[in-house]
Amino acid sequence: MRGLSCSALRAPNIGCNLNLPHSHAQNEHVDGYASLPFLVVNVAAVDTNVDNGAMEILRGTHRSEYKYWQILLERPQRLRVNLRQGDVVIRTSTLWHRGMPNRTDKPRPMLAFTWEDGGSSREDPYDVHDGRITFLPNRFATDLKSRIREQAFVAVPSLGTAYHAVRSFF
């Protein structure tokens, strides 16, 4: 990754996307802020396919800055990233993508090495959270209000699409 990057990289931040059984599709998104792109390496911890929620990517969307409404209008080609255990995906944070439903009974882990702000500021990036595996919420917090919001977006996906489309105009 150091060889690929146009700026100096520290060690990456260490994470893992745990796509839980019977999850729902995320909204299409870029990671972090579009104005602050960073490199991402995803590693398949298990064989990953459409059944257990292989990520969907929107082809070519890292090449220019897309607003959500432009994604809806231009409809870039969508691809599922099917991976064998150990396969590596190298992408920028600004490639539009989303987690997809895991229709199996097993969680689908996918490692995420990310270089926001040039990478981890720790000597050992695995020291994060005192070196313990720590489960964190993702796009929605876990307080009651956030859970209701999440459930509403799950029940009526068009609500989320409309909300994000309107927000992306401003």
Ligand X SMILES: O=C(O)CCC(=O)C(=O)O
Which spans of this chain sit near ligand X (rule: CB under 6 A)? 17, 19, 31, 55, 97, 99, 110, 138
Select from Fe ion, ligand X, none the partner in contact with residue 55, using the beta carbon and a kind-dependent cut-off of 5 to 8 Å: ligand X
Choose between 62 and 97: whose C-beta lies nearer to ligand X: 97
- 3 state SS of 153: helix
Provide, rounded to whole angstroms, the least separation between the CB of residue 30 and Fe ion: 7
* Token duo for residue 168: 């992306």
Provide, rounded to whole angstroms, the least separation between the CB of residue 138 and ligand X: 5
Per-residue contact flags (x/-) with Fe ion for residues 108 to 137, judged by CB under 5 A: ------------------------------
Q: What are phi and psi of 38, to 5 degrees?
A: -145, 165
Task: Kindly write down the DSSP assignment for every residue of 1-38, as one continuous string.
Answer: -TTT-SS---SPEEEEEEE-TT--PPPPB-SS-TTS--
